Amino acid sequence: MDGFIDLFTEIITHSGVSEQYIFRKKAIELPGFFRPTKEWDLLVVREDRLLVAIEAKSQVGSSFGNNFNNLTEEAMGSAIDLWTAYREGAFLAGPQPFLGYFFMLEDSDASNRPVKVQEPHR
């Protein structure tokens, strides 16, 4: 996923943001609300204000249905944790940051197969 983080970094710098405000691989922890901290793949922080937080995940191999559910729950949990921390003042006052979640899924027969669903209480 490093190539995508490189691409995101390039896009951000081309928009006029100096690389000194872009963090990856170090100093990438943000406060959470339901957990003390969370590491992100790319942050843009300027003058102690969070502007961008991006997470990148990929999935290849088997168990697409179960793993996709887990990654979906992780993405939603990370977003809820960050937005709750933001709302409760864990970050300096400033504009609402951009939150991105990039997900790359292997294109294969298994990943394109419909997931079996059981809904006994529907």
Burial class (CB in 10 A: 0-12, 13-18, 19+), 42: buried
Total-model pTM:
0.83
Question: Region 4-12: what's the mean pLDDT?
Answer: 95
Split into its structural domains, the chain has a count of 1
Which residue segment(s) compose the domain that 30 sits in?
Answer: 2-110
* pLDDT at residue 65 in the model: 67
Q: How many CA atoms lie within 13 A of 113 on its CB side?
A: 11
- Asked whether residue 117 is domain-assigned, the answer is no
| Residue 40, in any domain of the structure | yes
- Tell me, yes or no, whether 115 lies in a domain: no
Cα end-to-end distance, the chain, whole Å: 38
Q: Is residue 118 part of a domain?
A: no
Residue 64: the pLDDT is 66
- CB of 13 closer than 8 Å to CB of 22: yes
Confidence of residue 109 (pLDDT cuts 50, 70, 90): confident
Whether 122 is in a domain gets the answer no
Residue that has been written with the tokens 């872009």 in this structure: 22
For residue 118, the model assigns a pLDDT of 82
Task: Please report, as a single letter, which amino acid is at residue 102.
Answer: F
Residue 74 within a domain: yes
Per residue in 51-83, pLDDT tens?
999 999 887 776 766 677 788 899 999 999 999
Q: Which domain CATH number covers 47?
A: 3.40.1350
